[in-house]
Amino acid sequence: MKSNILHNLVRLLLVGAVAFLGWAAWQRQERAKIKLPAGIVGGNGRIEAVQVDIATKYSGRIDQVLAKEGKLVAPDEVLCVMDSIEMQADLQKSKAQQLKAAEDVERAAAEVVQKEATYTLQEKSFARAETLKRNKAIADQDYDEARARRDSSQAAVNVAKAGLRSAEQAHLAAEAEVKRQEAQITDMTLKSPVQGRVLYRLAEPGMVLGSGGKVLTVLDLSDIYMEIFLPSQEAAKLRLGSDARFVLDVAPTYAGRAKVSFISPEAQFTPKQVETRSERDKLMFRVKLQLPAEVILPHIDRVKTGLRGVGYVRLDESVDWPEFLQKRFPLDVQPAADTSATPAAETAAPSDPAKSPAGPAATPSTPAPTGAQP
């Protein structure tokens, strides 16, 4: 009986292998039927996103890490809180010094008023002494003493004003120190600068990190692109801003819109010594196809990087896109709830195109064009 079961299992495996090989052969035949018109070229690529490191600005101990791997985060969302007890104590001390500096300013200002009042009195006394001097009704010694008291009062006013300026500068310095420490405490709360998904959680509560220590790595899902490689002859005709399309392996019946945002100024796969025509033909240039936000944002909770596909660019703007590159991703697909705990993911297309509101696919799957580089 065991031998019969084993025999049947082997037969099933053989049938499955034959079916798979037949399906693969059929796929190759279908792909061979699809040809790109002149002026449109393509290359294999994968969906990429910019990675943003959430790192500490100041050294300290981690109090809380509020985001797990795979979590969708919004701009300015709090991701990590560092221990700032010592900074809070220093801030209270600085605020007390600021209050003292403000009192010193008031004290110096009152002293200026006092010295100016004394100077005004001495100025009037000296004016009377001058009148008496002209009438020869005052002794020279009394006149000289009145003038000396006037000059001394004027000098005292200047000294008081200098003290007031110093007190004001000290108050500004104390105020700036308070603002600096408040900003430092604010920086102990790490926030997400972008809308994205947590890719790696690199630190845990209780860990002590130095300045620049990484806590999380976030994928910026607002900056999604596909990288492809094109031969030098095709890359030379390409221009920044050119219209592009991309087709993903997980949804081969849909084509997404994109723009050429980068063309590498340096060749890839290049021999050290390029001497023959065959070697020059090996020159490949990296091209970045930027996906528009209106394609990404409706499916932000389902967008994932690393998916393979084919990117297409139009070298001649007068050439129309073929039919299989005109079927857009459905934008009315309801996003799924964010229950994922892993950073790997889907793209802006539904996982099952046949269940999308746009209906089942009517075009064959799209292959990589002959000669496309991975």
Average pLDDT over residues 192-198: 91
Number of domains the chain contains: 2
Instruction: Among 143, 163, 187, give the residue marking a domain's end.
Output: 187
Say what the pLDDT of residue 300 is: 75
Q: Over the Cα atoms of the chain, what is R_g?
A: 38
Parent domain of 134? 87-187
Q: What is the mean pLDDT of the chain?
A: 79
pLDDT in tens, 55-75: 999 999 999 999 999 898 999
Residue 202 placed within a domain: no
Instruction: Among 165, 187, 209, give the residue marking a domain's end.
Output: 187
Residue 80 placed within a domain: no
Say what the pLDDT of residue 235 is: 83
- Beta bridge pairs of residue 127: none
**Spatial contact of 307 and 346, defined as CB atoms under 8 Å apart:** yes
Structure tokens at 260: 């050429």
240 and 364 in a single domain? The answer is: yes
172 and 241 in a single domain? The answer is: no
How many secondary structure helices (H) and strands (E) does the chain include? Answer: 6, 12
Say what the pLDDT of residue 371 is: 36
Q: Which residues of 70-106 are buried (b: 16+ CB within 10 A; e: fewer)?
A: bbbbeeebebbebbbeebeeebeebbebbeebbebbe
Give the C-alpha separation, 264 to 285, whole Å. Answer: 6
Min mean pLDDT across 94-98, 254-258, 281-285 is at 281-285
100 and 229 in a single domain? The answer is: no
Average pLDDT over residues 318-343: 59
Residue 323 DSSP class: G
> pLDDT band for position 270 (50/70/90)?
low
Task: Tell me the whole-structure pTM to 2 decimals.
Answer: 0.62
Say what the pLDDT of residue 160 is: 94
282 and 353 in a single domain? The answer is: yes
371 and 248 in a single domain? The answer is: yes
Say what the pLDDT of residue 63 is: 95
pLDDT in tens, 88-105: 999 999 999 999 999 999
Give the C-alpha separation, 307 to 365, whole Å. Answer: 16
129 and 278 in a single domain? The answer is: no
236 and 370 in a single domain? The answer is: yes
Min mean pLDDT across 22-26, 260-264, 281-285, 323-327 is at 22-26
Measure Cα distances from 100 to 167, 168, 170, 273 in Å: 10, 11, 10, 73
225 and 314 in a single domain? The answer is: yes
Residue 12 placed within a domain: no
Min mean pLDDT across 37-46, 134-143, 276-285 is at 276-285
131 and 225 in a single domain? The answer is: no
Instruction: Among 187, 211, 239, give the residue marking a domain's end.
Output: 187
142 and 236 in a single domain? The answer is: no
